[in-house]
Amino acid sequence: EIVMTQSPATLSVSPGERATLSCRASQSVSSDLAWYQQKPGQAPRLLIYAASTRATGIPARFSGSGSGTEFTLTISSLQSEDFAVYYCQQYNNWPPWTFGQGTKVEIK
Amino acid sequence: EVQLVESGGGLVQPGGSLRLSCSASGFTFSRYTMHWVRQAPGRGLEYVSLISSNGGSTYYADSVKGRFTISRDNSKNTLYLQMSSLRVEDMAVYYCVKDPAGIMATLGNWGQGTLVTVSS
């Protein structure tokens, strides 16, 4: 089973600033990597798939990069609605899909 | 539009049983593998189980193997998760997820979840 590790656990950012979230896989997942955003009481919302492709309706301030074992989600200018928990997921070698433990983006 | 609506969650005592359902619409249910993913309170996402489109293949996480049974009724467009010998650590929101079947833009088809509370 592939282990996904996210860092940092919590990121404190001021509105308008840039946020950079990291996700590392225990072995190569090629570009089979997705990012989700989750707010309290809601299901995860797909932001990015194939490591760098924005899902339908996702603003351009969200971007993903990386391949193999190292991935990054960047939010270029944080808006109030972006404060949430973010998860990465690999779907290269499944079952099972495996998820990172999450990064909480909070207001500084 | 794909819709997945989970039901059946509730309060159950340790050692008890519960059956979750997921009603699907907006796509040809019988053509898709389906998954269950759960999230314990304040915790991350944990993969639970999958079932192939015709029900012939299943997979279970080690944490639920032997206690949970996934099934489906394609005539009713419904996915099930029969949970028995429930433990406190099974307490979570359970999400039903449609497999993207190679179209990764559809990875985001999750239900809203149903809460299972295991407590005496």
pLDDT in single tens digits along all 120 residues of chain B: 999 999 999 999 999 999 999 999 999 999 999 999 999 999 999 999 999 999 999 999 999 999 999 999 999 999 999 999 999 999 999 999 999 988 888 888 999 999 999 999
Give the three-class secondary structure for B54. coil
Instruction: Please give the pLDDT value at position B104.
Output: 87
- For residues B25 and A24, what is the distance between their CA atoms, to the nearest angstrom? 35
Q: Which residues of A touch B110 (CB under 8 A)?
A: 43-44
Instruction: Please give the pLDDT value at position A7.
Output: 97
pLDDT bin (cut points 50, 70, 90) of residue A35 is very high
Instruction: Please give the pLDDT value at position A83.
Output: 94
User: Averaged over A49-72, what is the pLDDT?
Assistant: 97
Instruction: Please give the pLDDT value at position B21.
Output: 98
Q: Which amino acid is at A23?
A: C
Per the CB < 8 Å rule, is A50 touching B104? yes
Q: Which amino acid is at B107?
A: L
Q: Which of B50, B100, B110 is nearest residue A95 as measured by Cβ atoms?
A: B50
Q: Is the CB of A9 inside 8 Å of chain B's CB atoms? A: no
Let me know: does B64 contact B51? Beta carbons within 8 Å: no
Average pLDDT, chain A: 97
Q: Which amino acid is at A78?
A: L
Half-sphere exposure of A51 (CA within 13 A, CB side): 17
Per the CB < 8 Å rule, is A55 touching B35? no
Q: Distance from A106 to chain B by nearest Cα, in Å?
A: 15
Quote the distance between the C-alpha of residue A106 and its chain's center. Answer: 15
On the question of pLDDT at A13 being above 90, the answer is yes
